[in-house]
A = this chain, B = another copy of it.
Amino acid sequence: MRAYHKKDFPLSKIRRFIEPGPIVMVSSAHKGERNIMTLGWHMMLGFEPATIGCFIWDENRSFSMIRASKECVINVPTFDLVNAVIGVGNTHKSKRDKFEQFGLTPVDASKVNAPLIAECYANFECKLVDTSLIKRYSLFVFEVVKAHVARSPRYPTTVHYRGDGVFMVSGRNLSYRRRFKRVNL
């Protein structure tokens, strides 16, 4: 597993990586502990500010860490990380450090205390901006405050979860740009 070389990315365009629906790895930190969880239930909720909703299961340790710290990083893994994705997803409530356990490298973020995962294609530093839907829907609403995205490849090969242990791996990328009305791009 290699670390991607990344650059700053415009926040208003992060939908490119979230809207296609990949599994993401959410990293968090609180009171000297850090943690990672895998997450497939998320959606874009706005371009500017860049807003993402995430369903975070309350059985995960991440749930309380993110609620208390009001921060996280949403990391987009590529297919080469599928073993870590599965491994992290299998370990709820474990106190072992998941970075060490799965060979992932924490990198300091610039606007939050939660660590970036170096081996992920994209890292979105997030602030929790609305806690009012946590009780009813386990829905955390995050504003992305800083985005780091790999320079290459142009489109990441992501993993998408179908349930029952089956992943769909992202396939071809096809541009129909000329067929879109400009306002709808």
A128 nearest CB across to chain B (Å): 15
A57 nearest CB across to chain B (Å): 10
Q: Known interface pairs A19-B40, A169-B172, A178-B165. Does A184 touch B90 (Cβ–Cβ under 8 Å)?
A: yes
Copies per complex? 2
Contacts of A77 in B (CB 8 A): none
Tell me if B172 and A171 are in contact (CB < 8 A).
yes
- What is the CA–CA distance of A22 and B167 in the complex, to the nearest angstrom? 14
Tell me if B165 and A160 are in contact (CB < 8 A).
no
- What is the CA–CA distance of A20 and B169 in the complex, to the nearest angstrom? 10
Secondary structure of the A side of the interface? mixed
User: Among residues 125 to 170 in chain A, which have CB atoms less than 8 Å away from a CB atom of chain B?
Assistant: 133, 137, 139, 141, 155, 160-170
A62 nearest CB across to chain B (Å): 14
Residue among A55, A171, A181 with the highest chain B CB neighbour number at 10 A:
A171
25 sample A-B contacts, Cβ–Cβ < 8 Å, listed by A number: A19-B160, A20-B21, A20-B161, A21-B160, A40-B44, A41-B45, A44-B55, A45-B137, A53-B137, A86-B176, A86-B179, A89-B180, A89-B184, A90-B181, A90-B184, A155-B162, A164-B175, A165-B175, A165-B176, A165-B177, A165-B180, A166-B174, A167-B173, A167-B176, A170-B170
